[in-house]
Amino acid sequence: MHIGVFGAGAWGTALAIAFSRQHRVTLWSREAREIADLRSDGENRRYLPGIPLPAGLHPSDSLAEAARADLHLVVTPLAGLRATARALHDLAPGTPLLWACKGLEAGTAQLPHQIVADELGGDAPCGVLTGPSFAAEVAKGLPAAVTLAARDLAFARHWVNALHDPRLRLYANDDLVGAEVGGAVKNVMAIAAGVADGMGFGLNARAALITRGLAEITRLGIALGGRRETFMGLAGLGDLVLTCTGDLSRNRRVGLLLAEGKTLPDILATLGHVAEGVSTAREVAALAARLGVDMPITAAVDGVLHGGLGAREAVEQLLARDPKQE
């Protein structure tokens, strides 16, 4: 099978490496210089240094070439999903599409599947690949398990069987909304966890934050039509725990640097990668307010990132909340 992977960042490259163990993969980037470097270096030195690209992986800056595939996998930042899906639809309409983008679109608060529906239509064969997975570990072939969710369970099962690998286990799910909400909001919680860790609040506080963060994610997900059990699985709890505790988490790193008193522009410049939780926090907080969903941790993170609230002040406000029944 031929897979076109669109987006040569850390996660796009990692998935291209993983799937090229069994399939022919074209890895696309719009940047010709980036593709030239991948070809000459035999690795992605910017995002995954030291991890060789396998022989079955072909880097290309030709969207038309990459689109001539049996499956399209979009792994751009969320901001690039709409334009990429539209371009692929123009080049190869009807080709099955998966995406590994997480978040809510800035300005519209749309989840990825809503963006894809805008561009491809509501009956397009498509789904999301999401779950607890750091790019560097997947690229190295370390074991991981993720969810492939689609509204059509038969579609999800088909592609799980086609893509499943002993080192990258896939599980089918038909709760597309729940899987996407879990993947989006866990990044916001990871920023909060980084702030708490950076302030030295300890492991007890981290455990409490993860647990209450999961409650927030679940409330929002159910309000949007997701199922409670999805948030207990890989796309919910699994992804949340990894992102809140793992040192490879970019969003957790944002929180750690906020706790040090760094400004957001300086933090983003230091990272060199997209931290989707930064833009997602604003959209989730606004969406929760419109829906009447109680999300105090999200509101605090949004206040720190976009509302001029100090990190310590935000923590003190959370600790001062009235006691409630769990």
In a domain, 179, yes or no: no
Boundary (domain end) residue, out of 174, 201, 221: 174
pLDDT band at 39, cuts 50/70/90? very high
Based on the fold, state whether residues 198 and 269 are members of the same structural domain: yes
Q: 105-160: per-residue pLDDT in tens?
A: 999 999 999 999 999 998 999 999 999 999 999 999 999 999 999 999 999 999 99
Catalytic residue check, 262: no
Based on the fold, state whether residues 247 and 149 are members of the same structural domain: no
First to last CA, the chain: 48
In a domain, 83, yes or no: yes
What is the CATH classification number for the domain harbouring 115?
A: 3.40.50.720
- Cα dihedral angle (155, 157, 162, 164), rounded to 10 degrees? 140
In a domain, 26, yes or no: yes
The Cα–Cα gap between 167 and 172 comes to: 16
User: Could you tell me if 91 and 67 are in contact, meaning their C-beta atoms sit under 8 angstroms apart?
Assistant: yes
Number of structural domains the chain divides into: 2
Based on the fold, state whether residues 23 and 160 are members of the same structural domain: yes
Based on the fold, state whether residues 43 and 192 are members of the same structural domain: no
Q: 47-92: per-residue pLDDT in tens?
A: 999 999 999 899 999 999 999 999 999 999 999 999 999 999 999 9
What is the CATH classification number for the domain harbouring 288?
A: 1.10.1040.10
In a domain, 326, yes or no: no
Boundary (domain end) residue, out of 174, 193, 227: 174
Q: The domain containing residue 50 runs over which residues?
A: 2-174
Catalytic-labelled residue, pool 102, 186, 262, 324: 186
Q: Which residue intervals of 224-249 are DSSP H helices?
A: 239-245
Based on the fold, state whether residues 76 and 213 are members of the same structural domain: no
Collapsing DSSP to helix, strand or coil, 26 comes out as: strand
Based on the fold, state whether residues 190 and 170 are members of the same structural domain: no
Based on the fold, state whether residues 140 and 288 are members of the same structural domain: no
Looking at the predicted structure, is the pLDDT value of residue 242 above 90? yes
